[in-house]
Amino acid sequence: MKKIIIFFILLVFTGSANGQLNKLVVDVSNSKAKIQPTMYGIFFEDINFAADGGLYAEMIKNRGFEFEEPMMGWLQPNSNRFSLNANSGVAEIIKEQDSSSNRNICRITINNDTGYILLNEGFRGMGIKKNARYQLSLLAAKQSGDIQKINFSFVNNDEKIMGITSIMPDGQGWTTYTTELTATDTEAKARLKITFEGTGVIDLDMISLFSEDTWKGRKNGLRKDLVQLLYDLKPGFLRFPGGCIVEGRTLAKRYQWKKTVGPVDERTVLVNRWNTEFRHRPTPDYFQSFGLGFFEYFQLAEDIGAEPLPILNCGMACQFNTGELVPLEQLDPYVQDALDLIEFANGSVSSPWGKVRSDMGHPKPFNMKYIGIGNEQWGQQYIERYKIFEKALREKYPDIIIVSALGPFPDGELFDYAMDEMKRLNAEIVDEHYYKPPQWFRENSTRYDSYDRNGPKIFAGEYAAQSVAIASPDNKNNWECALSEAAFMTGLERNADLVVMTSYAPLFAHADAWQWTPDLIWFNNLSSYGTANYYVQKMYSTHRGTDLLSISFEDGKAVTGQNGLYSSAVKDSDSGELFIKLVNTSDKLQQVFIELKNKKLADKADVLTLTSDNLSDVNSFDNPDKISPTESQIEVENNHIKTGIDPYTFLILKIGLKQ
């Protein structure tokens, strides 16, 4: 009788709908592998103004006058450097010799208080919202004269005042002043205008402005909407701070984590490696204040429930730039930085670096489990240096898992050499990167099917489909790219016994200050949105599951692009659910009949669908949800599901497991 019912279902199904029939089988009872909690994570690099001007909510550019051009970001519209400025005034930079980090101060001479104006342009402007409150702070020291008041106001390009506040400097010694500025209007390109009442000379430093409405309400914290987008991904890990900025164009300009912790005003400003990397998108005003430093990264990882994965310089500058090398006999300070970082993250408050963490407000260890040595380094030079790091880390911290580099390409001579060496060294996790055309992702869903299971585990650390070409300014976050990534990710998931970490890259891009595209999340000074690629990542990461299941055609073959169809299946033992991912990359409707074996299931399935009939479609500020998930339900009849998958569609079936 049961066979007759199934035959009738198939008859109705095939006779009532167009499209090719795909008969699939899922063995619900047989766990093929455990899926790691770190399977889907995020990678943050300070590119595209992702930190200053982005996630780090500081609104003042060059707040400490420490850029290579100390007045960059600051304007004096009524002053002339080739004049005595009797009708206004002038700002000059005083460089102190007794300070190793924040050496510059801004000395302002006010000759006519009705004529002098100092403006800060922010990061492509300042985004302010009507009735929102902003906290302003600065250091000031009167030198001479009778300056009674300093006024601070938001202004637009027409000089309309959109909020004003003031302080009254009252002494010649350095004093910290704080005040609140409330916006009277909404403006994406506001500037901060500073004027003075009285004449004389005054020194200013660390002029800082933050929205009061930061993530978790932390003073001088992170931009709330951007962190929320990360939190909603439920990422398993946070890789930081790069990327190529870890390496630096030169070793002198490399990222040094110890210079990013402690009091914010003592952190040394550094030029960003992406400052002038691309002629088509030069950003000479791109620097790192390190207000978002290693402590803040660890704190962010904790906030969003992600394992921290810091990446450290291995004694090599970026090989796409100078490729400078530290001699092997001089590598000890770099190795010590790695050892000290583990102490900073995990050490007791009585240890030197554990005390630094505790003094910053986090006595409890961050419980760091992973560390990355190098970013995209390649060749014998990397292997020689990596082995020195590995030996030291194994001896002192044998439980820390080391993530090793395989270079910037997913194949070729450099990749093969690195993989062979890492196998010989018994590396634990190796980091593969691929920025390829959409077709490559569709054609490589089987990439890991034949990988050696006796070698290292795989971290797909940076990947994104490129609609035009790698590093092209014309790349788009279009639906073809996102759909192709969804197809590829079924292959990552089907190989969860081998692939233990994955992350899209880059993560963030400022719409007015980017260097690289495509990117997962776009933002301007007021708003942000997730791309179609973001929703693909979110659908996977929020339906990760705990156990990999087998899904195949009736002949036992995996679903890897036949008829344009891709699939993977997982079970979540915690929630008692089955998740089936299905991707139709073809231009035809695909009918799917799924037999669910060896477990009783609920009689309904929730369906989460991401689709567009135009492969060129993109999300945007004007239409941020153009490509976003929709929810529906279908019937589950006698442990069988029948459904049609529209062209160019990614969907997830969610079915409850009966006890």
Can you point out the beta strands (E) in 96-174?
104-110, 118-120, 126-128, 133-145, 149-155, 161-167
Predicted confidence at residue 3, as pLDDT, reads 40
Cβ atoms 358, 344 nearer than 8 A? no
Predicted confidence at residue 18, as pLDDT, reads 64
Residues 534-588 have pLDDT tens digits of: 999 999 999 999 999 999 999 999 999 999 999 999 999 999 999 999 999 999 9
Residues 484-520 have pLDDT tens digits of: 999 999 999 999 999 999 999 999 999 999 999 999 9
Strand order, beta sheet including 307-312:
42-43, 237-240, 307-312, 370-373, 401-405, 429-436, 457-465, 499-504
Predicted confidence at residue 9, as pLDDT, reads 41
Residues 245-260 have pLDDT tens digits of: 999 999 999 999 999 9
Q: What are phi and psi of 555, to 5 degrees?
A: -85, 5
Average pLDDT over every residue of 310-326: 98
Q: For residue 268, how many other CB atoms are within 10 A of its CB?
A: 16
Cα gap 245→233, rounded to integer Å: 24
In CATH terms, the superfamily for domain 2-35+546-657 is Golgi alpha-mannosidase II (2.60.40.1180)
Tokens of 286: 């791109």
Residues 175-189 have pLDDT tens digits of: 999 999 999 999 999
Q: Find, among 236, 202, 229, 205, the residue nearest to 309 by Cα.
A: 236
20 band by pLDDT with thresholds 50, 70 and 90: confident
Q: What are phi and psi of 58, to 5 degrees?
A: -60, 135
Over the chain, what is the mean pLDDT? 96
CATH of the domain spanning 74-211: 2.60.120.260
Active-site option among 376, 421, 432, 485: 376
Cα gap 345→369, rounded to integer Å: 10
Beta carbons within 8 Å of 418's beta carbon, 6+ residues apart: 378, 382, 383, 405, 406, 407, 430
Spell out the CATH class of 42-57+214-541. Answer: alpha beta
Predicted confidence at residue 99, as pLDDT, reads 62
Specify the pairing of strand 457-465 against strand 429-436: parallel
Residues 49-74 have pLDDT tens digits of: 999 999 999 999 999 999 999 999 99
What share of the chain has pLDDT > 90, as a percent?
A: 95
Long-range pairs for 274-277 at CB < 8 Å and ≥24 separation?
A: 274/46, 274/47, 274/48, 274/244, 274/245, 274/515, 274/516, 277/515
Predicted confidence at residue 100, as pLDDT, reads 66
217 band by pLDDT with thresholds 50, 70 and 90: very high
Residues 440-494 have pLDDT tens digits of: 999 999 999 999 999 999 999 999 999 999 999 999 999 999 999 999 999 999 9
Residues 342-364 have pLDDT tens digits of: 999 999 999 999 999 999 999 99
Domain boundaries, the chain: 2-35+546-657, 42-57+214-541, 74-211
Q: Tell me if residue 376 is catalytic.
A: yes
Tokens of 186: 């909404």
With a cut of 60, say whether residue 13 has pLDDT above it. no
